[in-house]
């Protein structure tokens, strides 16, 4: 079903879950006059058309045989119910198996302890109100983290202080990541970012204007890895035109539901396409064990936060990764009998 940006079985799965969750609305009813109401698929189609094409409800009323009010009601119910039904499954944090797969892929690319890439989008300071979408995505285009709703007056730097991404790490509830690179041991994972982000121990950036061959190679590898996130954003915007369109008359909670619905539907199609032999494919994982939540003291939280925003630790990790990638590439080219990388 190209117009729905998903295959038939995904559409059928969503239909079944919607009927189970909110049958009072999604089941086809009967009016007092005896006429049958709109079907489940008619309502779903109305909502998906608005998501995929980014147009107003009055653009589809004649085509779908529904009034503008009925289409808007279907859209509101659809975005709310999708988040409630599938949010925990398709917007979850990576479990132990997921993290292992991400780290294995990262190690093959030369980035030990790197779970995924980071990207933030904002269009602030342009005289118009905007909202930030901050996301983390892996190499299979799955979006692991979505923070939506920060005002566009913020930017990629100070939005970090409002993001919940590092909350589990600060409170000691994040998955354990241990790795050694260039002879030095680390116990926190990190994200690859562009040059605008601050020098934190959990963020690794490329080298601006690199001149040394090692720095050039490192910056190229960082840029290649971050293209995974660029691609995930591109797919999301291409599938759902509503993401890059105007906010119209929706309020904050509606906008959040809309964005999270698009991310959930995107992840559902990524999961479905694994069976097609695409590059998204990987084995199914086992559920992670639920551990007791750690409740640290305020002093422990402050100490952990200081570890994260540690600039010397950031520079040390960056230097170790530069040496590790250089050594790996040089060793790999010698084994294959090929010329040196640089």
pLDDT given for residue 130 in this prediction: 56
Model confidence, pTM:
0.78
For residue range 295-323, what is the model confidence (pLDDT) as tens digits? 788 898 889 889 998 999 999 999 999 99
Tell me which residue of 86, 80, 9, 7 sits closest to 43, measured CA to CA.
80
Cβ distance 137 to 119 under 8 Å? Answer: yes
* Residue 276: exposure state from Cβ atoms within 10 A (0-12, 13-18, ≥19): exposed
Full DSSP string of 84-100: HHHHHHHSPPP-HHHHH
> How far is it, in rounded angstroms, from Cα 41 to Cα 3?
13
Sign of CA dihedral 271, 274, 280, 284: positive
pLDDT of residue 337: 38
Mean pLDDT of the chain: 79
Q: Is the pLDDT of residue 335 over 80?
A: no
Determine the Cα–Cα distance for residues 150 and 133; give it in Å rounded to an integer: 8
Q: Quick check: 201 and 317 in contact, CB under 8 A? A: yes
Please report which confidence band the pLDDT of residue 333 belongs to, taking 50, 70 and 90 as the band edges.
very low
Distances (CA, A) of 39 to 19, 29, 51, 148: 11, 8, 19, 32
Residue 289 neighbours by CB distance under 10 Å: 7
332 pLDDT above the threshold of 80: no
| pLDDT value at residue 155 | 55
Q: With cut-offs at 50, 70 and 90, classify the pLDDT of residue 75.
A: very high
Q: Is the pLDDT of residue 290 over 60?
A: no
Q: How far apart are CA 134 and CA 120, in angstroms?
A: 4
Tell whether the model's pLDDT for residue 330 goes beyond 90.
Answer: no
Q: How high is the pLDDT of residue 170?
A: 82
pLDDT of res. 80: 95
Give the DSSP per-residue string, 209-263: S--SHHHHHHHHHHHHHHHHHHHHHHHHHHH-GGGGS--TT--HHHHHHHHHHHH
Q: Per-residue pLDDT tens for 15-64?
A: 999 999 999 999 998 877 888 889 999 999 999 999 998 888 888 888 88
Residue 278 confidence (pLDDT): 42
Q: What percent of the chain has pLDDT over 70?
A: 75
Strand partners, 135: 119, 146
Q: What pairs with residue 33 in β-bridges?
A: none
CA distance 134 to 256: 12
């Amino acid at each position: 079903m190209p117009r729905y940006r998903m295959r038939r079985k995904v559409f059928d799965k969503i239909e079944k879950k919607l009927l189970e969750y909110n049958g009072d609305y999604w089941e086809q009813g009967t009016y007092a006059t005896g006429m049958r109401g709109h079907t489940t698929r008619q309502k779903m189609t109305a909502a998906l058309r608005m998501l995929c094409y980014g147009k107003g409800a009055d653009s589809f009323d004649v085509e779908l045989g529904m009034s503008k009010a009925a289409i808007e009601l279907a859209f509101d119910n659809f975005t709310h119910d999708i988040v409630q039904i599938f949010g925990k499954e398709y917007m979850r944090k990576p479990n132990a198996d997921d993290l292992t797969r991400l780290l294995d892929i990262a190690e093959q690319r030369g980035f030990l302890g790197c779970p995924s890439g980071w990207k933030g989008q904002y269009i602030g300071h342009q005289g118009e109100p905007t909202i930030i979408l901050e996301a983390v995505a892996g190499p299979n285009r799955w979006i692991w983290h979505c923070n939506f709703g920060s005002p566009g007056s913020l930017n990629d730097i100070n939005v970090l202080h409002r993001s919940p991404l590092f909350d589990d790490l600060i409170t000691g509830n994040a998955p354990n990541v241990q790795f050694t690179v260039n002879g030095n041991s680390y116990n926190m994972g990190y994200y690859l970012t562009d040059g605008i982000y601050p020098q934190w121990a959990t963020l690794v950036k490329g080298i601006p204007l690199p001149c040394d061959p090692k720095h050039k190679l490192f910056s190229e590898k960082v840029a290649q890895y971050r293209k995974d996130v660029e691609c995930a954003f591109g797919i999301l915007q291409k599938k759902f035109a509503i993401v890059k369109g105007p906010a119209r008359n929706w309020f904050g909670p509606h906008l959040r539901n809309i964005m999270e619905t698009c991310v959930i539907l995107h992840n559902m199609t990524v999961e479905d396409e694994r069976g097609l032999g695409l590059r998204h494919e990987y084995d199914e994982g086992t559920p992670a064990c639920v551990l007791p939540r750690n409740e640290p003291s305020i002093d422990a939280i402050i100490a952990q936060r200081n570890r994260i925003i540690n600039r010397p630790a950031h520079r040390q990790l960056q230097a170790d990764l530069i040496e590790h990638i250089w050594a790996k590439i040089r060793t790999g080219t010698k084994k294959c009998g090929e010329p040196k990388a640089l």
